Amino acid sequence: MIKAGIIGSTGYAGGELVRLLLGHKGVDLVWYGSQSYAGVKYQEVYRNMFQIVDAECIDEDLEQLADEVDIIFTAAPQGFLASRLSEAILSRTKVIDLSADFRIKDVLAYEKWYQLTHNSPQYIEEAAYGLCEINRETIKSARIVANPGCYPTCSELAIYPLLKEGLIDSRTIIIDAKSGTSGAGRGAKLDNLYCEVNENIRAYQVTSHRHIPEIEEQFSDAAGSPVKITFTPHLVPMNRGILVTAYASLAKDVTWDEVRAAYEYIYKKEQFIRLLDRGVCPETRWVRGSNYVDLSFEIDERTGRIVILGALDNLVKGAAGQAVQNMNILFNFPENEGLTMAPIYP
C-alpha cells in the first residue's frame, strides 16, 4: 500500500483522480489539496463523495506533502509545479504532473506557447513523457512523469503507428479535434457558460493552440525527423469526450489490412487501445467514464490519403486515468489496477 496526495483535487481532473484512486487496491489517498477550498470538507465541494470522503481539503504545501506521501499528483495550472519543484521534494517522493510544465523538452517552445518563464528547466530532460503505451520503459524509473495533454493523447495514439512504420507523409498531417467543455477546467469563464456553449460548436485557437508543440515533438520522435502539423480544436456542447479526425497522405500504396497490421503490431498487448472493426467509427459515448481509446481508419484510394479517427474521455485517459496508469507503472502495480471500469452508457 502506498500513500498518495493530490494538489488541485477540486478541479475536474483532480476530482476524477479522487474517484479513481478511491477504487485502487494499492493506494491510500491521504491529501486532498485545494487552495480555493482549504478547510472545507471535500464532500461539501463534490456531493457525490458524501459519506465516502470525510476529509477536509488542505492547502497546497508541496514540501509538507512530500514528507507524507509516496506519490504526488499535481492537477494545477501551468507553472505551478515548475515554480515549486526542488531536489528536496524529489528526494522524498515521486511526482506525476497533469500540467504542461515538463511535457515539452524545448524550454523555449514551452515559454513561447504558454507565455510563461519556466522556473525549473533543470528537470525537463529527466521528466518522462507519460504516454504509457509508447514510453512505458522510460516511465518505470522516473522521478517526474509529465502526464500528456488530452488532445495530444488522442492524436498521438491515433497516428503514432503510421509514423513509426513510415506509412504516411509526415508533412501532410491535419488534425481536426473536438472536445467537451470539461477540458477547459472548472473555473468560471464566459465562453463556457451554458448559454454560450449549448446548441453551438466553434473552433478556437486556430493555428495557435498550445498543444501543438507537444504533439509535434512526439511525432518528430516517432518519425525520426521534424514534423509540423495543422491542428484545429473545437468546443462542442457535451461534458466529456474528445473525438479526433486526422488526415494524411499515404507514403506508399498499402491495403487496409496492411495498415491494420501496423496498428496491431504496435498495440497488440495494450488493454486500453481498442481497434475497431472495419467500417466502425469511434464515438465519444462508447468511451465515456473509461480509460479506453477507440481507434479506426479508412483509406481514401481516390485521393491517396488516409483518415484516422480516435475517441477518448478527456478526464480519464486524457488526464486522471492516464495519471493512475503512470502511477501503476512507477510502483509496479498491475497496469490496469483501478482502471478496469467499463464505459458509462447512456
φ and ψ at 6, to 5 degrees?
A: -120, 125
Cell numbers for 341: 471500469
Is there a contact between 120 and 89 (Cβ–Cβ < 8 Å)? no
Cell numbers for 181: 467543455
Nearest Cα residue to 288 out of 186, 182, 202, 184: 182
Q: Is 154 a catalytic residue?
A: no
- Burial grade of 226 (CB within 10 A; 0-12, 13-18, 19 or more): exposed
The single residue listed with the C-alpha cell 475536474 is 12
Cα(77)–Cα(83) distance, integer angstroms: 11
Is there a contact between 308 and 162 (Cβ–Cβ < 8 Å)? yes
Cα(281)–Cα(276) distance, integer angstroms: 7
Choose the catalytic residue: 132, 150, 154, 195. Answer: 150
Q: Which residues are catalytic?
A: 150
